[in-house]
């Protein structure tokens, strides 16, 4: 068996020894959002460190565990903390958790992150629904022997972010009176923030927001046919767009300050993702 798939199977079996919970939605929580996992109807928590072979995050402020439970009766698995490519993991380790949640039964992947605004119409504290992405600055997680068990060798990427889920996010934001920007997310490796010239490059390439996660996870999830949606919290205007130098603390402060609205939006949108309306929408 392929070593990447073997590791994935090992992680799957180690979770299945603890719980037979089958999630519908897999949610990845970005900076500042961790608490959301504690506010749901929890059935089981599994620290990453107790899953054999699982990559464990080293970033301050990122917890590391799966939380299984219900958001308005929708079964969810939540990643409270993710690993990043800049931590030194291979790209296949970085996307292992997403593939694992698919094996556990999740059909929908909801990605969240903190990102720098590249679009001059954005301000710190805005939310941006991701409509498309640029992942070419990090290696594709699909490089290497194809995992036939998960998906095809040359997967189509024409609609990475599911149109029906985007509709659900727009409707949820409108209902709650939370403004929701839309745009293209570009992933760089990090961990350094960008130079002003790199931010200009991102803008020329068509990006609206830049960050250090998410796009590689979406590529892996699209490969294994998950339906994907994503929201970035624009914690700052990217480097060179304002007078202030960037700091991780500032990013965390804005992420924390906007977290209450972000959490309301997540809860409202996820509640809609388990309904018949959503399932009918999937068949449209």
Q: Which residues are catalytic?
A: 31, 62, 84, 86-87, 114, 212-213, 236, 248
b/e 26-56 (16+ beta carbons within 10 angstroms → b): bbbbbbbbbebbeebeeeebbebeebeebbe
Instruction: Report the SS3 class of residue 57.
Output: coil
Q: Does 95 bind ligand HPA (CB under 6 A)?
A: no
Q: Which position's Cβ is nearest ligand HPA?
A: 116
Best CA proximity match to 211, nearest among 247, 184, 187: 187
CA distance 108 to 164: 11
Out of 87, 93, 194, 272, the residue judged to bind ligand HPA by CB under 6 A:
194
Residue 130 as a binder of ligand HPA (CB under 6 A): the answer is: no
Residue 193 binds ligand HPA (CB under 6 A): yes
Q: Which stretch binds ligand HPA (CB under 6 A): 15-23, 112-120, 149-157, 171-179?
A: 112-120
179, 129 Cβ separation under 8 angstroms: no
198 sits near ligand HPA (criterion: CB under 6 A)? no
User: What is the Cα–Cα distance from 13 to 189, expressed in whole angstroms?
Assistant: 31
Asked if residues 69 and 76 have their Cβ atoms less than 8 Å apart, the reply is yes
Place of tokens 């992933």: 187
Using CB under 6 A as the binding rule, whether residue 116 contacts ligand HPA is answered as yes
The bridge status of strand 65-71 relative to strand 74-80 is: antiparallel
Q: Under the criterion CB under 6 A, does residue 162 sit at the interface with ligand HPA? A: no
Question: How is residue 255 written in tokens?
Answer: 């992420």
Shortest reach from residue 104's CB to ligand HPA, in Å: 28
Interacting span for ligand HPA (CB under 6 A) from 37-45, 84-92, 151-159, 207-215 = 207-215
CB of 39 to ligand HPA, least distance (A): 23
Q: How far is the CB of 23 from ligand HPA (least distance, A)?
A: 27
CA 155 centroid distance within chain: 20
CB of 238 to ligand HPA, least distance (A): 4
Task: Give the residue with the Cβ less far from ligand HPA, 151 or 183.
Answer: 183
Q: How far is the CB of 200 from ligand HPA (least distance, A)?
A: 13
DSSP secondary structure of 212-250: SSSHHHHHHHHHTT-EEEEEEEEEEEPTTSSSSPP-HHH
Binding-site member from 57, 92, 235, 258 for ligand HPA (CB under 6 A) = 235
Among 151, 211, 230, 274, binds ligand HPA (CB under 6 A): 211
Q: Which of 109, 114, 165, 241 contacts ligand HPA by CB under 6 A?
A: 114
What ranges in the chain are assigned the alpha helix state H? 3-16, 91-94, 96-103, 163-176, 196-204, 215-223, 248-273, 276-283
Contact footprint for ligand HPA (CB under 6 A) = 114-116, 193-194, 210-212, 235-236, 238, 246, 251
């Amino acid at each position: 068996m392929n070593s990447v798939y073997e590791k994935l199977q090992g992680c799957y079996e180690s979770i299945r020894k603890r719980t037979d919970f089958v999630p519908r939605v897999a949610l990845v929580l970005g900076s500042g959002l961790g608490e959301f996992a504690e506010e749901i109807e929890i059935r089981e928590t599994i620290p990453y460190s107790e899953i054999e072979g699982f990559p464990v995050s080293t970033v301050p402020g990122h917890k590391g565990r799966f939380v299984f439970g219900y958001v308005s009766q929708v079964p969810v698995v939540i990643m409270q903390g993710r690993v990043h490519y800049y931590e030194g993991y291979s790209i296949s380790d970085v996307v292992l958790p997403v593939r694992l949640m698919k094996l556990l039964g999740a059909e929908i992947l909801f990605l969240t992150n903190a990102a720098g605004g590249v679009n001059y119409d954005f301000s710190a504290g805005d939310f941006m629904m991701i409509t498309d992405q640029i992942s070419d600055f990090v290696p594709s997680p699909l490089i290497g022997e194809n995992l036939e068990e998960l998906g095809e060798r040359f997967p189509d990427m024409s609609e990475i972010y599911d149109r029906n889920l985007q509709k659900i996010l727009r409707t949820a934001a409108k209902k709650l009176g939370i403004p929701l920007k839309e745009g293209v997310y570009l992933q760089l490796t990090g961990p350094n923030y960008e130079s002003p010239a790199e931010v200009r490059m991102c803008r020329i390439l068509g990006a609206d927001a830049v960050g250090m996660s998410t796009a590689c996870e979406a590529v892996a999830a699209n490969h294994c046919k998950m339906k994907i949606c994503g929201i970035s919290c624009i914690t700052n205007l990217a480097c060179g767009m304002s007078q202030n130098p960037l700091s991780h603390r500032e990013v965390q402060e804005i992420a924390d300050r906007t977290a209450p609205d972000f959490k309301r939006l997540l809860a409202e949108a996820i509640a809609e993702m388990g309904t018949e309306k959503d399932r009918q929408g999937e068949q449209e």
